[in-house]
Amino acid sequence: MLFTQGSGGNPSPLRLSVQPEKRYQLWQTEDLRVPWIYKQAVTTTPETVEYEIALNSATERTLFYKLQPTPPAPTIDWFTSYRGERSQMEAHGHFLLACSDGGFLQIGESGSPSNSGRILVIKVDENGALIWKQETALFIEGSLNLGNSALEVADGYIILGSQQSNGSNSGQNSMIAKLNKSTGVPLFIETFDSGGADAFEHAATNDTGYIAVGYRQAMDSENTFYTEGQGQLTFLNSNGVQIASFDLNNYLSQAYRIYPTQGGYIISGQAAENTQYGLIKIDSTGTVLWHRQYGFESVDGSADDDHCFALDVSTHGHLFLSGHTRFGYQSSGLNQTNNWDTLTCKIDGSGNLIWIRRQGNPRGFDPRYIHDEAWGIRATPDGGCLVVAGSGDEYENYSAHSQDELSDKWVVYLIKYAADGVLEWETTFGDPGEALGWDWAGEDIVLTSDGAAVIAVDNASFGFLKITPLFNP
């Protein structure tokens, strides 16, 4: 730890000893009683032995600096997984909630929309032990039942998704439910027909109840990801009763996540035709304040799919988006290039892009065949973010080994970016013995009070994966 004080002159730069070919984090503060502020990532070259910090001659403040090695990638602390009340049916989670009591709640489905799909919610304690599961009381009929996300309020958990609208598997209705925190028993269940196949994807609280986002008029109602619908915004009271709704289709074909931010709410999702990330800011009345699109747009006839499935807002008001892209991909021939890769953006509070990063294929296979599909993101205390994805291949004509890894065995893929977009590390997690499911895929991630994280894992069950600490709490 070093410090300097501005003198109004031309102070000499600070020179700190470093090791060559290492990654460091530079931190700064003017008060040792408050948290340090992350400044930038530092990657040294083979020749580097000192790192130089240029000092501002105009400052009269005392400034403290520290340069510390970037923490290594985490390892597994514990893992546990559960299926629903119908234990013979596979279960697939989509969203993970860190609860105020230290436990975790995961939501998704048992079965699938084409095969006995039912909303499933599972609550575990801080060590992954099962507290309760809820499936039967949320089921009415049919298969088109989706569990999309959850929200904690003072006296319960708010559940967002859709329920089968009739027994013919021809439609869905948007659903909001409230569950008892201790038992998972429903306190209310409300459904709304917003037009065709429709669903709530996510919600935030407001002064009168909730603001929910989702879609209507879905063309692919059995899809648990991109349904080819029309974006929808709905205001509900505290009992889940609809107050008003707004069409978002001019901005988003599927509104996927909503979070409060300074001056309103940020909503992310899929732009038209699913070719760009879409982001809008609304005020508390639902008025659109601004809208933006991000990603890559093909000009040579190759794929330009950019699928946005993850949003987080940092304590400093920065916005983080993630998902996956096939930009530049050719389906066959000599020009075939990378398949799905993760695509992550950092954006300021006004919607201006700070950086965008594409990353994938962590195990070094042929990138034409590897899918790296990101579903969750969390802003980190250092100004960066964690992105969680699944990585593997789905091709009958391709299977490869690399360092005792098999390409068609899927793994959890975890990526850490620094505040300035530098890739600090990437790592993967998978079942080493196939006892806990052949394939693992990361679905969502939350930070924990001890500086670690828990990852929702799809291993044909609801998996809860706790990793070792990343930060000092």
Judgement on whether residues 250 and 166 belong to the same structural domain of the protein: yes
| Same domain membership, residue 135 and residue 230 | yes
In this prediction, residue 4 carries a pLDDT of: 56
Do both 50 and 165 map to the same domain?
no
Single-letter code of the amino acid located at 369: Y
pLDDT for the residue 95: 98
Residue 277: CB atoms within 10 Å: 30
For residues 162 and 36, membership in a common domain is answered with no
Q: How many domains does the chain have?
A: 2
pLDDT, position 168: 54
3-state secondary structure of 132: strand
Give the separation between CA 113 and CA 41, rounded to whole angstroms: 45
Answer yes or no: do 121 and 106 share one domain.
yes
pLDDT of 10 reads 63
Measured CA to CA in angstroms, residue 468 lies from 74, 390, 417 at distances of 5, 19, 17
d(CA 215, CA 229): 6
β 254-261/264-270 pair status? antiparallel
Q: Do 328 and 225 have their domain in common?
A: yes
Domain boundary, last residue among 16, 50, 69: 69
Q: What is the pLDDT of residue 49?
A: 86
Q: Is residue 160 part of a domain?
A: yes
Looking at the fold, whether 60 and 83 belong to one and the same domain comes out as no
- pLDDT score for 59: 64
Tens place of pLDDT per residue across the chain (473 aa)? 555 555 555 667 888 888 998 888 888 888 888 888 888 888 888 988 888 887 776 666 788 888 888 889 999 999 999 999 999 999 999 999 999 999 999 999 999 988 889 999 999 999 999 999 999 999 988 888 999 999 999 999 999 999 997 755 557 999 999 999 999 999 999 999 999 899 999 999 999 999 999 999 988 888 877 888 999 999 999 999 999 999 999 999 999 999 999 999 999 999 987 789 999 999 999 999 999 999 998 888 788 899 999 999 999 899 999 999 999 898 877 777 889 999 999 999 999 999 999 999 999 999 999 999 999 999 998 899 999 999 999 888 889 988 778 999 999 999 999 999 999 999 999 988 777 888 999 999 999 999 999 999 999 999 999 999 998 66
Domain presence at residue 472: no
Three-state DSSP at 136 gives helix
Do the Cβ atoms of 42 and 25 come closer than 8 Å? yes
How many CB atoms are closer than 10 A to CB 272?
15
Instruction: Report the CATH number at residue 122.
Output: 2.130.10.10
Q: Are strands 423-429 and 411-417 parallel, antiparallel or unpaired?
A: antiparallel
Question: Which structural domain range is residue 12 located in?
Answer: 2-69
